[in-house]
Amino acid sequence: MYRVCKAFTIESGHMLSKHAERCRFPHGHSRRIELVLASPTLDENDMVCDFKWIKLAVGEFLDSFDHALCVNAADPILEKLGSQAERVVVFTEGDPTTERMAERIHAFLRERISSGESVKTADGVVYRVPASVRIERVRVSETPTSWAEYES
């Protein structure tokens, strides 16, 4: 099996309404997001897939988390954040933990891969993901010493 990893860095805030201590208050993290893709074969360019495809496929989605506050849909503070909705990411599945963020990113990328959708650069170059590629895991770091991972 061949594997590639593309890493991204974002600044992201969250608040964990179920947490007993300080994490229930708004706070931020410099997050490193690692996307690991695998394939049993290489494409015509001797790659799992082009790193540019990964960047273009998830770039806008990951940007939605950058300088944004992730909040549980059941948290009463959500109503007060209405005017800031552009940079608020709502988690309906529970608290926006690092584990849940990894799961959400994994689901998004899995859908992009399974759709076989090509992506295009600003200057018109088209990149495709081979049908043999699958997402193996997403790792999201919360601090330099802590991370969560979701894998298929």
Predicted local confidence at residue 84, as pLDDT: 66
Low-confidence residues of the chain: pLDDT under 50: none
Concatenate the DSSP letters of all residues of 15-81 into one string. --TT-SSGGGS-EEEEEEEEEEEEESS--TTSSSS-HHHHHHHHHHHHHTTTTEEEEETT-THHHHT
Alpha carbons 11 and 72: distance in angstroms, whole number: 18
User: What's the domain range around 46?
Assistant: 2-151
CA-nearest of 131, 70, 74, 77 to 102 is 70
Predicted local confidence at residue 79, as pLDDT: 81
Predicted local confidence at residue 152, as pLDDT: 84
Q: How many domains does the chain have?
A: 1
Q: Which amino acid is at 129?
A: V
Q: At 88, which CATH number?
A: 3.30.479.10
Q: Residue 29's Cα: distance from chain center in Å?
A: 14
